[in-house]
Structure 1
């Protein structure tokens, strides 16, 4: 039997025929009609078995047998086998699509944390999260990834979302300043490889290891605790130690900060110099979770590493422990904490320095 015939026989077996039935049927297709012995020789089916094989094919409606000195056979209903193969083909096509769909599904899910196998799945989720953003986006991207996400980032900027971009890769491919101005609040360049990270509104996280990693997977999380851990990874490793490439943040009041610690670093020297700093805090009350707006004078910065020796540290790491800003209001002093505040009166979403006098 030739290679092509062997392939056809194998496919007919996958369509439900036995190996002997498939071989005999292929031989009949070539012979047209023939005696049982001729079919046996052409198909390599043993002579004692060929009669049972032909009768089984006849019972299934694929061939018909007739007597002409001896038993003969011919193909009786071609549509029957072709329809059966077409039905199998549809099932195989469905199986192919199902395999692809299941591969793209999250491989594991624990609460709101999902592990996936394709970068595209994480990237598409990140795009959707940015499109839903209302407050803040922190992202670590290559220039190419930035280009793909630029429309979503630009729309978020138009909605008033604060966006920090850490861009890594080829410096020659860095987006132009004018492009960045329409798509982020501030951008920094990191020359080292970095993972794909997108943090949205302090709860949604999308993460894929950098391209040189031996592990190929992605993580999608909708959980404040996991997002908080990656926020500090982003802030300390991908953001704070790298030079500013573009900033659209104001240099003079009013200046809005999306994080308390960035604000503390900026206003602490002003308070130490005895200047009056007026602020507006947008956030939530920690005891009820309800939104709040606090207007008053920044009175005092307190944080875990506060000391004469540490204060000269210009990085945000100096404020990594507990950090609190006390604001005096018409109703008395209010303690304000950063992301995840529990012991303070309020948690900051945004804080605006209205004036420094």
Structure 2
């Protein structure tokens, strides 16, 4: 079996066929039609197994059987086979996600729900920051210590929310970050308090409206870990505590 055929077999397996079913289906298309012996001659499927595999493919609607002696098999057209597998995939997708949705709805009726979530790895934190920012309707407070923590997608989302009338306050001691965020129309840029100058572990802070927050720290190897919460009592209280402190007050230039 060639590498390309192996990849095709694996693709058919992901669509719900067994390895043998995929190999027999491909072999019948190569032959046009054939007996179990014909199929076994061009695949590594044992002849004794071809009969049951072909029967399974017939039940799936992918193979037609001619009651001759010996029995001959013919595959349905590629268009028909594709339609059958797509419909099957769609049914299985709906069944799976309908079940997950039902479980999710049951879970939301529980009295206790987690309010605080942990995100690890830079890319995932980037995605969570963008998601939180995109939900802002009133105000955004964002702080970043290093230039690489302000990605293009984050910057673009800030521009979009500012253009929509959302108040944006950016906090950073890094000149590059201050320059980039200061170029956003409507954004205000401040420096953090002086006592934070020696901070080498903080990553980002994001506050969205009054009920969304993300805080991250950087490990010694540069990896990033963040906690975040949105639409929760925890988020509201933590935001109030931060805003009541001097964490968001401007420092000296």
Question: TM range, normalised to the smaller chain?
Answer: 0.5 to 0.7
Q: Is the 8 A contact 2:13 2:22 kept in 1?
A: yes
Q: 1:101-180 to 2 correspondence within 5 Å?
A: 110-111=114-115, 113-115=116-118, 117-126=124-133, 128-129=135-136, 131-133=137-139, 139-141=142-144, 144=150, 148=156, 149=158, 152=161, 155=165, 165-169=170-174, 171-172=175-176, 174-175=178-179
- Residue 243 in structure 1 maps to residue 252 in structure 2: yes
SS at match of 1:49: helix
**Aligned-partner Cα distance in 2 for 1:205–1:147:** 18
SS at match of 2:213: strand
Q: Is the 8 A contact 2:216 2:227 kept in 1?
A: yes
Match of 2:203 in 1: 195
**Aligned-partner Cα distance in 1 for 2:8–2:181:** 62
CA deviation digits over 1:204-238, x for unaligned, max 9?
35223155653433413454432244336x625x7
Aligned pair in 2 of structure 1 residues 176, 18: CA closer, same or farther (>3 Å)?
Answer: closer
SS at match of 1:74: strand
- Residue 63 in structure 1 maps to residue 64 in structure 2: yes
Match of 1:84 in 2: 84
Moved over 6 A (4+): 91-95
Aligned pair in 2 of structure 1 residues 63, 219: CA closer, same or farther (>3 Å)?
Answer: same
**Aligned-partner Cα distance in 2 for 1:125–1:14:** 34
Q: Is the 8 A contact 1:122 1:208 kept in 2?
A: no
Match of 1:307 in 2: none
SS at match of 2:73: strand
Aligned pair in 2 of structure 1 residues 74, 208: CA closer, same or farther (>3 Å)?
Answer: same
- What is the CA RMSD across the aligned residues, in angstroms? 4.4
Match of 1:214 among 216, 223, 235: 223
CA deviation digits over 1:80-123, x for unaligned, max 9?
4221222355579889x99xxxxxxxxx9535x55555433334
Unaligned runs of 5+ in 1: 99-107, 158-162, 245-357
Match of 1:303 in 2: none
- 1:132 Cα shift? 1.5
Match of 2:237 in 1: 225
**Aligned-partner Cα distance in 1 for 2:18–2:78:** 18
The structure that has the greater radius of gyration is 1
Give the structure with the larger strand fraction: 1
Q: TM-score, normalised by structure 2?
A: 0.60
Unaligned runs of 5+ in 2: 99-111
**Aligned-partner Cα distance in 2 for 1:30–1:181:** 63
Match of 2:109 in 1: none
Q: Is the 8 A contact 1:119 1:218 kept in 2?
A: no
**Aligned-partner Cα distance in 1 for 2:2–2:181:** 66
CA deviation digits over 1:169-208, x for unaligned, max 9?
3x25533998599533x7226766543224467x435223
SS at match of 1:37: helix
SS at match of 2:179: coil
Give the structure with the larger helix fraction: 2
CA deviation digits over 1:24-53, x for unaligned, max 9?
222111112233322222223323333344
Higher RCO (Cα < 8 Å, 6 or more apart): 2
